[in-house]
Amino acid sequence: MNLNNLSKTTKRSKKRLGRGYGSGKGGHTVGRGIKGDKARGKIKLTFMGTKMRKSLFHRLPLQRGKSKLKSLKPKPLVVNLKYLNLFEKDKTVNLTSLVKKGIVKKEDAKKFGVKILGDGELKVPLKVALPCSKGAIKKIKKAGGKVE
């Protein structure tokens, strides 16, 4: 047994700044320097150093709306009808069955979801328990299947 194999027995908590001289980082400016934006409150999202003319955020085109700083919602995985011909007659098509057939990956299916689109022809009647496009619903019903 070596010292590097031993598990740590203590956890060092984060140093709380400005809580008196005995705290290790107390009194007056508390490590923030003197005056200026960085000494007061939070630093703006647009701030990118003092030497920069314009931050990256300022150089990007103006975006409007309340979700301008958030990423767009992930779109579901697309599975076309032609791939559903791999299933046997009157089987239920859901996330787990698509993963078992190897049409989609398990992690992606859980993360993004799956939507059936109407590209190709369906030759087998199936029960589909997934979101479908209008065209896909028509073709599934035409083949004698159901959409749940």
Tell me the residue range of the domain where 139 lies.
Answer: 77-147
Give the domain CATH number at 135: 3.100.10.10
- Joined together, the tokens standing for residue 142 give 């035409």
Structure confidence at residue 52 (pLDDT): 67
Q: pLDDT of 126-141, one tens digit each? A: 999 999 999 999 999 9
Q: How many CA atoms, within 13 angstroms, populate the side-chain half-sphere of residue 46? A: 8
Q: How far apart are the C-alpha atoms of 58 and 133, rounded to whole Å? A: 40
Residue 73 makes CB contacts below 8 A (sequence gap 6+) with none
Residues 142 and 98 in one domain: yes
Spell out, as residue ranges, where the chain has pLDDT lower than 50: none
121 CA to centre of own chain: 33
Q: What is the dihedral of CA 100, 103, 104, 105, to 10 degrees?
A: 50
Structure confidence at residue 54 (pLDDT): 76
Structure confidence at residue 106 (pLDDT): 94
Q: What is the dihedral of CA 38, 42, 48, 50, to 10 degrees?
A: -20
Question: Whole-model pTM?
Answer: 0.54
Residue 51 makes CB contacts below 8 A (sequence gap 6+) with none
- Has residue 72 been placed in a domain? no
Structure confidence at residue 41 (pLDDT): 85
Residues 82 and 41 in one domain: no
Structure confidence at residue 74 (pLDDT): 84
- Has residue 24 been placed in a domain? yes
Structure confidence at residue 86 (pLDDT): 92
Domains in the chain: how many in total?
2
Number of residues that make up the chain = 148
